[in-house]
């Protein structure tokens, strides 16, 4: 098939070939249904020359069936499996973001380390997905004994919204059974094997735990755990020979070093026996962090790291695809819409960090208490994302006059949007742009809000007094915009002005934003710092009513009740 020509493939329209790997090729596609139904998906096909290899095809079929049983928020979702035109395929969800290998490369290029909180959050989500898979039973309640076998940066995908997805469940196992693809699979992946896997011994789910430990080690250190050529790496992996975490990753919590040592133990019996145990210890490591790890924080980091790429991808998604060619005996496939419209992300609050919309950060409670390829869905292939610019806040009510003036931000919207675009790469250029926006629209709350966010977020521009002044003017202009008060609460908290922080968070609570559980958590935090234990308990209980799965809020609540 030509690389970029849309082609009918059963009930699917293959729009663009994204990449070709050792055993398969990946396409961006559409699922076409009745009444004009369309859904963007990914299609992975076995390479034509491998379709005749019975052993590989049989394994591919078995593993595709197995992957379809996996239904977890941290595992890529399989939709369909079958055979069309003598070619086996898998269809799966199409995600917008980058794999961890691409993230690591971009982070080095832009000198923007992933950071402790993001690394811990990613590791906890990988552990959660693996723990689910390892413990999964079939329909007869018999253990499936699933082992991923290929946990590596290429198979950990992060969306621009901060979701973490494990890719290629079971496919690595299928590939390992092929004499044609075996060497290709080992090359480049041996650095993430467990000692028993590198030695060729039988493995179980504890091999995935070792691989997860390697990924965490590298996210924190910013360098490879095993270095050298392939044979040197293989020898080091077999001996579990690497720099101790304390030497490679200085100034980390002692509890985190313990997690790494146990996950990376050479003997499986000395490791964590389940990913659930590792997950529990990682969550304990989060206690005491000043910024609470979350999908929102990770999403903010992704949007800043890939700000330019997101703009480029948005434009690419807007370009119309070429008309589909005729392929006998099928009719001409109509061209897809000129502007594909993936489901936009839900509205998000805009607290202190992360252009253009920061996913709010949770602050940590006391020492022991605070705080969690190339393409989309599949073997680490990169894909494209359509990101909508955040909307401006609702215009201020018009005065009861016969003349109806334009909304206060109309004259400044273009400047504000331009400032948001440059904050990811050149934040210093955002300040004069926002200054111009304020000049042409002095009653635009969003212009002041964005200026406050710049003064809060970027170390070289950080100026908390100026941030407070900007947020204060925004609040005067739009007192019903909860994000302003949330960000003010954040600034007052990091500057340890807890009474003012409490006042701001309390005001945000009154406005009942869609992230109310987060506001209540932060309010409880600053109340606890002031010794207002009962008030903090009441707010944590309310937060848990809104979000019963919030483990850190529960941990803080239990601790305060214990006191």
**What is the CB neighbour count within 10 angstroms for residue 179?**
9
Alpha-helix residue ranges (DSSP H) falling in 335-463 = 413-423, 430-440, 445-457
Phi, psi of 17 (to 5 degrees): -80, 125
Judge whether 252 and 216 are in contact, CB under 8 Å.
no
Report H helices in 40-115: 54-69, 100-110
Residue 62 CB burial class (10 angstroms; 0-12, 13-18, ≥19): middle
Reference 191, options 158, 220, 217; nearest CA is: 217
Q: What are phi and psi of 80, to 5 degrees?
A: -155, 155
Residues 6+ apart with CB under 8 A from 134: 146, 147, 205, 208, 274, 275
3-state secondary structure of 244: coil
Chain length of the chain: 563
* Helices and strands, counts by H and E, the chain: 22, 11
Cα 488 off chain centre by? 26
* Strands in 295-374 per DSSP E: 362-363
State the residue for tokens 């273009």: 414
Cα separation of 529 and 418, whole Å?
Answer: 39
Q: Known catalytic residue: 150?
A: yes
Q: How far apart are CA 381 and CA 373, in angstroms?
A: 2
What token pair was written down for 30?
């559409």
Q: How far is CA 389 from the centre of its chain?
A: 19
Six-digit token string for 497: 């002005």
Rounded distance between C-alpha atoms, residue 253 and residue 152, angstroms: 24
CA geometry: angle 334, 339, 342, nearest 5 deg: 105
Of the residues 34, 86, 131, 150, only one is catalytic, namely 150
Per the CB < 8 A criterion, the answer to whether 225 and 152 are in contact is: no
Cβ partners under 8 Å of residue 169, min gap 6:
66, 67, 70, 75, 76, 133, 146, 148
Q: Where are the alpha helices (DSSP H) in 286-371?
A: 295-305, 307-318
Question: Which candidate, 31, 29, 25, 33, places its Cα nearest to that of 14?
Answer: 29
User: Are β-strands 362-363 and 156-159 bridged in parallel, bridged antiparallel, or unpaired?
Assistant: unpaired
Give the helix/strand (H/E) hosting 253.
Answer: none
Measured over the CA atoms of residue 293, residue 161, residue 20 and residue 79, the dihedral's sign is positive
Q: Which residue numbers are catalytic?
A: 150
């Amino acid at each position: 098939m030509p690389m970029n020509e849309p082609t009918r493939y059963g009930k699917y329209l293959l729009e663009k070939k994204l990449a070709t790997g050792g055993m398969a090729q990946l396409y961006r596609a559409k699922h076409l249904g009745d009444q004009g139904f369309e859904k963007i998906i990914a299609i992975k096909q076995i390479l034509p020359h491998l379709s005749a290899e019975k052993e590989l095809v049989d394994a591919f079929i078995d593993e595709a069936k197995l992957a379809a049983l996996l239904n977890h928020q941290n595992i890529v979702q399989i939709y369909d499996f079958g055979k069309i035109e003598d070619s086996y395929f898998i269809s799966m969800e199409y995600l917008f973001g980058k794999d961890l290998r691409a993230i690591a490369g971009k982070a080095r290029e832009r000198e923007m380390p992933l950071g402790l909180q993001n690394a811990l959050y990613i590791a906890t989500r990988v552990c959660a997905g693996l723990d689910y898979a390892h413990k999964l039973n079939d329909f007869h309640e018999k253990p499936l004994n699933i082992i991923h076998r290929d946990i590596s940066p290429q198979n950990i995908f992060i969306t621009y919204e901060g979701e973490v997805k494990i890719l290629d469940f079971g496919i690595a196992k299928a590939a390992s059974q092929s004499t044609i693809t075996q060497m290709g699979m080992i090359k480049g992946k041996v650095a993430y094997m467990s000692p028993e896997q590198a030695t060729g011994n039988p493995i179980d789910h504890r091999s995935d735990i070792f691989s997860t430990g390697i990924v965490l080690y590298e996210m924190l250190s910013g360098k490879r755990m095993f270095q050298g050529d392939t044979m040197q790496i293989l020898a080091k992996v077999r001996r579990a020979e690497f720099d101790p975490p304390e030497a490679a990753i200085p100034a980390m919590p002692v509890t985190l070093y313990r997690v790494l040592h146990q996950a990376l133990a050479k003997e499986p019996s000395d490791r964590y026996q389940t990913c659930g145990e590792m997950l529990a210890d990682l969550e304990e490591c989060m206690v005491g962090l000043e910024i609470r790890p979350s999908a929102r924080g990770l999403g903010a980091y992704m949007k800043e790291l890939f700000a330019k790429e997101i703009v480029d991808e948005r434009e690419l998604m807007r370009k119309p695809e070429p008309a589909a060619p005729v392929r006998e005996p099928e009719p001409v496939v109509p061209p897809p819409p000129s502007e594909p419209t993936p489901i936009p992300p839900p509205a998000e609050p805009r607290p202190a960090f992360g252009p253009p919309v920061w996913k709010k950060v949770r602050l940590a409670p006391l020492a022991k208490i605070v705080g969690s390829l190339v393409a989309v869905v599949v073997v680490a292939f990169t894909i494209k994302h359509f990101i909508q610019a955040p909307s401006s806040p609702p215009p201020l009510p018009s005065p009861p006059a016969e003349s109806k003036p334009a909304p206060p931000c109309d004259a400044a919207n273009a400047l504000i949007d331009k400032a948001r675009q440059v904050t990811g790469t050149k934040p210093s250029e955002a300040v004069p742009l926002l200054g111009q926006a304020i000049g042409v629209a002095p009653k635009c709350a969003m212009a002041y809000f964005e200026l406050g966010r710049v003064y809060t977020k970027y170390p070289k521009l950080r100026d908390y007094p100026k941030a407070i002044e900007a947020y204060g003017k925004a609040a005067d202009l739009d007192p019903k915009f909860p994000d302003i008060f949330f960000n003010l609460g954040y600034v007052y908290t990091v500057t340890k002005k807890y009474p003012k922080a409490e006042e701001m968070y309390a005001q945000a609570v009154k406005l009942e934003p869609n992230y109310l559980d987060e506001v209540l958590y932060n309010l409880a935090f600053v109340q606890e710092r002031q010794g207002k234990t009962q008030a903090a308990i009441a707010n944590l209980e309310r937060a848990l009513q809104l979000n019963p799965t919030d483990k850190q809020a529960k941990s803080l609540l239990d601790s305060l009740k214990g006191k």
